[in-house]
Amino acid sequence: MAEAAPQGRDSTLRIFRQHRRGYVALNALYYGLVLAGMLYVFTQPQLQLGLIGDVRTELEQTLPLVVEAYTSGNFPLAAALTFGFNFLLGSLLYITAPSLLLPFAGLVTGGIRAVLWGLLLAPTQPELVLAMIPHSLTLLLEGQGYILAMFAAYVQWRAILNPKSVGEERRLSAYRVGLTRTGRLYLLVAAALAIAAVYEAFEVIYIIPILLPR
């Protein structure tokens, strides 16, 4: 059972100490689902080709500025737009927003993202093998941002289900505590995704062209 958190001492470090097993489990779940998706798509290579085509078309239609930033080699803009997309849409909208209403919904949506990553990024072709050498770090860094967002959803609903664990008696009060904890954890989400965005823009613009010259 999670220990009670005295009010005024609900630091980010305390949150991790209180839920360290949950955080470790979410890391294992997320990266495990990525690996499972990769292993599966090796048996269905046509599925990956179709998904890559769909994603490319979707990006060109809905996020032309992002595509233009990368194709033109505009590193600062590519990093900024990547961070904005991953933070606002990938984390806030896709993982956290559903979790505000449905118990642990962010764990489900985050898990779906992990599987899709595996299907898209599995090194099934020689060029993908080369691309994944630098891109593996992007996968780890960006994945950590999404894992932290999932962790925030987990912590929030653990508080609601067990108000005494956060020093509250009522679930509504525990819900507010959960939102505060989500805000604290989102500082780490932002930091992880910012680092990932800078590295991803760098490796896509400067490293991948060297490995896969046209």
Q: What is the mean pLDDT of the segment spanning 51-80?
A: 92
Residue 124 lies in a domain: yes
Q: Tell me whether residue 39 is exposed, middle or buried, using C-beta atoms within 10 angstroms of its C-beta: 0 to 12, 13 to 18, 19 or more.
A: exposed
Residue 4 lies in a domain: no
Q: Which of 6-20, 87-101, 111-125, 127-141 has the lowest mean pLDDT?
A: 6-20
Phi, psi of 65 (to 5 degrees): -65, -35
Residue 65 lies in a domain: yes
User: Is the distance from CB of 95 to CB of 151 less than 8 angstroms?
Assistant: no
The predicted model scores a pTM of 0.91
Residue 150 lies in a domain: yes
User: Is the distance from CB of 159 to CB of 177 less than 8 angstroms?
Assistant: yes
Please say if the pLDDT value at position 160 is more than 70: yes
How do residues 166-205 score in pLDDT, each as one tens digit? Answer: 888 888 888 999 899 999 999 999 999 999 999 999 999 9
Count of domains for the chain: 1
Work out the angle at residue 195's Cα, subtended by the Cα atoms of residues 48 and 67, and round it to the nearest 5 degrees.
50
Q: What six digits make up the tokens of 65? A: 């500025």
Q: What is the mean pLDDT of the segment spanning 62-87?
A: 94
**Cα-only R_g, the chain:** 19
Residue 5 lies in a domain: no
Please say if the pLDDT value at position 4 is more than 70: no
Residue 3 lies in a domain: no
Range of the domain at 22: 12-209
Q: pLDDT-based confidence at 3, cuts 50/70/90?
A: very low
Look at residue 162 in the predicted model and tell me its pLDDT.
87
For residue 125, give the DSSP letter. Answer: S
Distance, CA of 50 to CA of 7 (rounded, Å): 51
Q: What six digits make up the tokens of 41? A: 């798509």
Q: pLDDT-based confidence at 127, cuts 50/70/90?
A: confident
Residue 214 lies in a domain: no
Residue 91 lies in a domain: yes
How do residues 50-62 score in pLDDT, each as one tens digit? Answer: 998 898 888 888 8
Kindly state the percentage of the chain with pLDDT values over 70: 95
User: Is the distance from CB of 106 to CB of 152 less than 8 angstroms?
Assistant: yes
